Amino acid sequence: MVKTNKYEWFILIGLVASSFLFFQLAYPYHLFLKEQIQLFLFTPCYFLSYFAKPAWLAGYVGDFLTQFFYLKGGGALVLSMVLGFEWFVVRAVVSRLTQSSFSGLWALLPVTVDWSLHSNTLHGLLASVGFILVLALFLAYSTVSNKWVSYFTLALFSLTGYWLAGSSFLLFPLIAFPFDFHRRRAGWLKWIPAFVLIFSLPFILRHHYLLTSLQAYIYPAFSKKDVLLPVVLLLFVIVAFVLKKTESQNSKLVVISALGFAGVSLCAGIFTQASFKFEKILALDCETYFGNPDKVIDLAKKYNLKNNQATYFTNMALAQKGLLPENLLDFYQPFSAGLILPVTPEQNWQSILVSNEVFYLIGDMNMAQHSAMLGNTFSPNQRSSRMIRRLAEINLATGDSSAATKYLRILSKTLFHKAWAEKQLQMLQSGKAKNWLTNKRLQIADTDMLRKSNDYLSSLKFLAEQHPDNLAAVDYLLCYLLLDKDLKQFRENYDRFYLNGNRKAPKIYAEALLAQLVASGASQNEVIKYNIDAKTIKQFAEYTNEYDKSSGDINALSGKFARTYWFYYHFAQIKKN
Amino acid sequence: MSKISIFHLVFFLGVLVGCGGKVNPGDVSKEKPKLFPDYVDVTIPSTIAPLNFKAQGDYSAIDAVFEGKAGKSIRVQDSKEICIPASDWSELLEATKGDSLKVTVSVKQHDRWKQYASFRIHVSETPIDYGLVYRLIAPGYEVYSKMGIYQRNLSTFDQSPVVENTLIPGSCVNCHSFKLTDPKNMNFHVRGKKGGTILITDGKMNALMTKTDKTMSNFVYPFWHPSGNYLAYSVNNTHQVFHEEKGKRVEVGDVASDVVVYDVKKNEALGTKLLMQDSIFETFPSFSPDGKSLYFCRAAHKKMPDKYNEVRYNLCRIAFNPENGSFGDKIDTLFNATAINKSVTFPRPSPDGKYIMFTLVDYGNFSIWHKEADLYLLDLKTGQTRCIDEVNSDNTESYHSWSSNSRWFVFSSRRIDGLYTRPFIAYLDENGKARKPFLLPQANTDYYDQLLYSFNIPEFVSGKVEVDPNQVDQLLDSGIKKVTFKQ
């Protein structure tokens, strides 16, 4: 290895510190999601499953490290350390190939590309590990001085590189050949077979690994853009090589150029790859998963996103706090689409992944199970710790102990879900349900009904009928009707579940009731029955006056009444994107 | 380095002390051990892969002695599970063919060995086919992500894919079937953007577009005619609904369904009014081994999904003339399930023509999610039907298929965890009595615990299946043949 000088230590520390700060402060929830969509088990079976595809070593090590993303700060720490190590190895490779005094600076370029690629949910650590592994193989190869040992090493690496590191290994001949050429040991008999073998192996093995040709040449990456990493490395190795002769005369220029390129590359990469809006949605999602509804509500207020998923998590948090009808219109409401996310082939995998949350919340366990199974199946590697945990919870709630045990046993083979799983297994064995489970079981229907997967209304009505004290289901039903502007059904169901339950009408219900009562020509006695507070009645009178006076002008009403149901009823429209 | 060596030495000694050495049981139980998988007193073919197992409960070591004929025996000891060396196992079974193995299991608990009562594993002389082909699919009911059809050599633990849908992105592969167990004559469907029925006859592959103007859907449930010249298919207009009750999950039923026969040589679907009645649901066709009868399930039409639990199928038969592809003019009822308020699914005649095995449920045809689903056997000689209590459990037993010699059958069951179907194999003796089934053995005893896929449609095959996924892709792209219809 090349000795690291003190300036390079600054680069390394700067890189690790800045990437840590970026991922910890600006992008932590993406990293949580990356852990949630994998399931790392400490079992032989699980280890052997990596041999079904290329890049088993990169995959296993990458996924091993990804499990630490579960910890707060763990993701940023692991990722910044990996990027630091990657820089260290890239620097050694650049130095070995170019003997440039500025290898440490040139090495920043590919690492910043990898950094920005990590902003994407589907760019896993295994891609970085594969890249590092290939560079390490090159460094090992470059230390071989004996001609026959180099032949043997090249043959060995050519045969096993794809198996160990995946498509990153295609980089190996592109750096090892020039190295050999420079050292005058690049015989054609040595390198033509190596090139042919290395570049044809993915094609030859694609059927064995059940990959399409494209998948075989980019595996383990999901997207073609991950090829950028080796391309940038090659590009800057060439640049470093070309500038080598003049770098001592223009050292300042080289430093500024390399740092400039790295900065621009990082900014451009983050600008094109990172989605800070999605990070906010994931913040709402993850805080829901962590069981922090107060934080979800606070974040939702802060972000003020106009997005179906953002509304979906916000509504769930409000329902958990019993505030859904009170605060519903304080947030963007895309009709009922912000209450329940559809589970259809048209949805993306992340939307399917989180779609079970609301069914679980309201006690529709069969649909929660269906969605969670699909969430697991549609997650990128079909094994999601979050979905397995949810499936365990669902089966604990339904009393299906053998199915619950299956999922809990799986989780007990993990590092970070083990404690929770073992606690639940102990609970199962003792037969004494904890509070959360007792409460969850109270929501579950005792009788049966058949419903189509997208017939949410029937399901909500059924759940409310089964357990009128299941306030989350009742509020979801009433809000569903209100958001779809079905006031007649709203009033019928309100009468049934709120009025008869002697519950006081929350803000939005009172507003909707007033509108419905007036529209249906209800008598004063009928209105009194609903015990609507005088302030709401007065405000309704003001609204109708203003509405009439302005002939329904949205601008005249939006200032004072924007968060009333009357305003929503008159003016809310679905925008088609 | 020295630290590593000392650590390894200590670990090695620990293993020796912990689970090695002679078993001197301080406690001999009269009970047989509770194992996973449950291989106590099962009947197996002599070519089956090692029956690796673990005991239930906590222990620090487990010991098993397998004693066969001619003084041959194997002893295995481990801290966790019994993994039997394959070559020793194979020799032991070969030597014990027609007899039984005596298995003695001991476990070490709190530094004390406990020996269970010995049990038997009966090694049948009757051979079994080369392997199984099944689909592995997450029980996600309606949409698909990753799934595939796989084959498993029964003598080893080798599983390899026949086709995976990752090769045809966004697709679903289903309903594989073989002419008896012949791997060179196979059918499966590819659904999705690039859809079609893949038909391999004597190793030659074709892709078919099977929806015709006169049929309501693509071909669905297949069954090969013994001659290989025809395949019977159902055509179904299917819908799916979900239960709200916690004990049930999903219902799949037909709004309408018919049965047709596909003439391979003429690329023509043959229909008859008797099998395409609007007032009747017809489904699950299968040919008799002589090829002259077509069995199928038949139910009176009900409004769906409102009356989903009133749909009940009987097992019926219609004559079929393989010479000209014509049908008989009457339908016989072989098993009147509606008379006992039950419903028949998956009728599968044994290749020797003696029996029809089917699944019986309370209603409908989606037996895979019916907890009460059990296997039944109709003796075609006596006309008697009986529940195969020897193999049924209190959970679902559903899809089943016969070995080529009719003495083994494989079926899917949810008995392990109630959620994921697993393949069980059972022996049927000459008197039609089944023996205790065994779960398809796996190298690792945690395999089923950790697998998040169900085994769907297990079918025996007599050799390795070869499907070129490239050719499937190419045929679906540009070589698809449209099937015509003739009544």
Q: Which residues pair with B191 in a beta bridge?
A: B172
Contacts of B138 in chain A (CB under 8 A): 373-374, 376-377, 382
In this structure, is residue B106 part of a structural domain?
yes
Q: Are residues B29 and B90 located together in one domain of the fold?
A: yes
Q: Are residues B91 and B158 located together in one domain of the fold?
A: no
Q: Are residues B401 and B263 located together in one domain of the fold?
A: yes
Residue B323, exposed/middle/buried by CB under 10 A (0-12, 13-18, 19+)? Answer: exposed
**The residue to which tokens 């009922």 are assigned:** A336
At a CB cut-off of 8 Å and minimum separation 6, what does A434 contact?
A427
pLDDT digits (tens, 9 = 90+) for B410-431: 999 999 999 999 999 999 999 9
Q: Are residues B46 and B162 located together in one domain of the fold?
A: no
CA angle at residue A427 from A423 to A428, to 5 degrees?
A: 120
Strands (E), B340-384: 343-349, 355-361, 374-379
Query: Per the CB < 8 Å rule, is A43 touching B144?
Result: no
pLDDT for residue B1 is more than 90: no
According to the model, what pLDDT value does residue A3 have?
Answer: 60
Which one-letter DSSP state was computed for residue B359? E
Mean pLDDT of A467-495: 95
Find the closest chain B residue to A448 by CA distance.
B245
Mean pLDDT of A387-408: 95
pLDDT for residue B18 is more than 70: no
Q: Are residues B219 and B110 located together in one domain of the fold?
A: no
Q: Are residues B197 and B255 located together in one domain of the fold?
A: yes
Query: Per the CB < 8 Å rule, is A448 touching B452?
Result: no
Query: Per the CB < 8 Å rule, is A369 touching B143?
Result: no
Tokens of B468: 């070129």
Determine which of B246, B421, B451 to mutate to test the interface with A (most A C-beta atoms within 10 Å): B246
> Measured between alpha carbons, how far is residue B262 from residues A114, A320, A500, B41, B441 in Å?
55, 57, 62, 44, 37
CA-CA distance, A240 to A258, in Å (whole number)?
10
The distance of A260 to chain B (nearest Cα, Å) reads: 41
Residue A160 near residue A205 (C-beta atoms within 8 A): no
In this structure, is residue B6 part of a structural domain?
no
Give me the CATH number covering residue B45.
2.60.40.10
Q: Are residues B110 and B198 located together in one domain of the fold?
A: no
Q: Which of B124, B149, B179 is the last residue of a domain?
A: B124
Total domains in chain B come to 2
In this structure, is residue B250 part of a structural domain?
yes
- Candidates B81, B468, B160; CA nearest to A51 is B160
Q: Which of B104, B124, B144 is the last residue of a domain?
A: B124
pLDDT for residue A8 is more than 90: no
Residue B457 near residue B134 (C-beta atoms within 8 A): yes
The four Cα atoms B85, B90, B91, B95 give a dihedral, to 10 degrees, of 140
The distance of A374 to chain B (nearest Cα, Å) reads: 6
With the C-alpha atoms ordered B67, B72, B78, B83, is the resulting torsion angle positive or negative?
negative
Contacts of A382 in chain B (CB under 8 A): 138, 145-146, 452
Q: Are residues B426 and B444 located together in one domain of the fold?
A: yes
Q: Are residues B32 and B177 located together in one domain of the fold?
A: no
pLDDT for residue A195 is more than 90: yes
Query: Per the CB < 8 Å rule, is A374 touching B143?
Result: yes
Residue A470 near residue A443 (C-beta atoms within 8 A): yes
Contacts of A406 in chain B (CB under 8 A): 417, 419-420, 449
With the C-alpha atoms ordered A517, A522, A528, A529, is the resulting torsion angle positive or negative?
negative
Residue B11 pLDDT class (50, 70, 90 cuts): very low
User: Range with the lowest mean pLDDT among A143-157, B235-249, B366-380, B446-460?
Assistant: B235-249
Tokens of A238: 């060439």
> Measured between alpha carbons, how far is residue B68 from residues B38, B274, B441 in Å?
19, 56, 19
Q: Which of B80, B96, B124 is the last residue of a domain?
A: B124
The size of the A-B interface in CB pairs under 8 A is 127
Query: Per the CB < 8 Å rule, is A402 touching B418?
Result: yes
**Which domain covers residue B85, as residue numbers?**
24-124
Query: Per the CB < 8 Å rule, is A377 touching B449?
Result: no
The distance of B89 to chain A (nearest Cα, Å) reads: 22
Mean pLDDT of B189-194: 84
In this structure, is residue B288 part of a structural domain?
yes
In this structure, is residue B306 part of a structural domain?
yes
Report the complex ipTM: 0.86
Cis peptide before A173 (omega within 30 of 0): no
Tokens of A203: 């094609």
Q: Are residues B104 and B155 located together in one domain of the fold?
A: no
Query: Per the CB < 8 Å rule, is A44 touching B444?
Result: yes
Select the residue of B242, B469, B470 nearest A451 (Cβ to Cβ).
Answer: B242
Report the percent of chain A where pLDDT is more than 90: 71
Find the closest chain B residue to A349 by CA distance.
B145
CA-CA distance, B420 to B405, in Å (whole number)?
28
With the C-alpha atoms ordered B358, B362, B365, B371, is the resulting torsion angle positive or negative?
negative
Select the residue of A210, A383, A445 nearest B166 (Cβ to Cβ).
Answer: A210
In this structure, is residue B447 part of a structural domain?
yes
pLDDT digits (tens, 9 = 90+) for B145-155: 667 899 999 99
Query: Per the CB < 8 Å rule, is A207 touching B450?
Result: no
Give me the CATH number covering residue B413.
2.120.10.30
Query: Per the CB < 8 Å rule, is B418 touching A398?
Result: no
Query: Per the CB < 8 Å rule, is A373 touching B140?
Result: yes
Q: Are residues B346 and B260 located together in one domain of the fold?
A: yes
- The H or E element containing residue B440 is none
Find the closest chain A residue to B448 by CA distance.
A406
Contacts of B447 in chain A (CB under 8 A): 45
In this structure, is residue B320 part of a structural domain?
yes
According to the model, what pLDDT value does residue A4 have?
Answer: 61
- The H or E element containing residue B385 is strand B385-387
Query: Per the CB < 8 Å rule, is B419 touching A403?
Result: yes
Q: Are residues B116 and B168 located together in one domain of the fold?
A: no
CA-CA distance, A445 to A448, in Å (whole number)?
7
Q: pTM value? A: 0.90
